[in-house]
Amino acid sequence: MALSSAIYNTLFKRTSTFALIIVGSAFFFERGFDLGCDTFFDSYNKGKQWKDIKGNYSQ
């Protein structure tokens, strides 16, 4: 409770900081989400994609 009201008072109460928080968290969420999805996709398809096999063709 104390934590949430502290967060509210310092960050969310003023529109300027609140908007900043939204933009900032959207940025970091997007980066993290993309990274997570790409990591999953690349490990799921290990050995099939070009980046996995290009070592066989160039020195």
Partner 1 sequence: MAARVGRICGAGLFKSNTTSSLNQISSYSTTRDWSRGRKALVGSLGILAGGAGAIIFALDRSVRASELELHPPKNPWSHNGWFDSLDHASVRRGYEVYKQVCSACHSLRFIAYRNLVGVTHTEEEAKAEAEEQMITDGPDEAGNMFKRPGKLSDYIPSPYPNEEAARAANNGAYPPDLSYITLARHGGEDYIFALLTGYHDAPAGIALREGQYFNPYFVGGAISMAQSLYNEVIEYSDGTPASASQLAKDVSTFLKWTAEPEFDDRKRMMVKAIGIFTILTMVSYYAKRFKWASLKTRKIEFKPKSK
Q: Which of 2, 16, 28, 44 binds partner 1 (CB under 8 A)?
A: 44
45 binds partner 1 per the rule CB under 8 A: yes
Which amino acid, 5? S
Helix (H, G, I), strand (E, B) or coil at 29: helix
Which strand (E) or helix (H) includes residue 6? helix 2-7
Find tokens 């900043």 and name the residue: 20
Q: Which of 13, 20, 25, 31 binds partner 1 (CB under 8 A)?
A: 13
- Per-residue x/- track, 17-36, partner 1 (CB under 8 A): ----------------xx-x
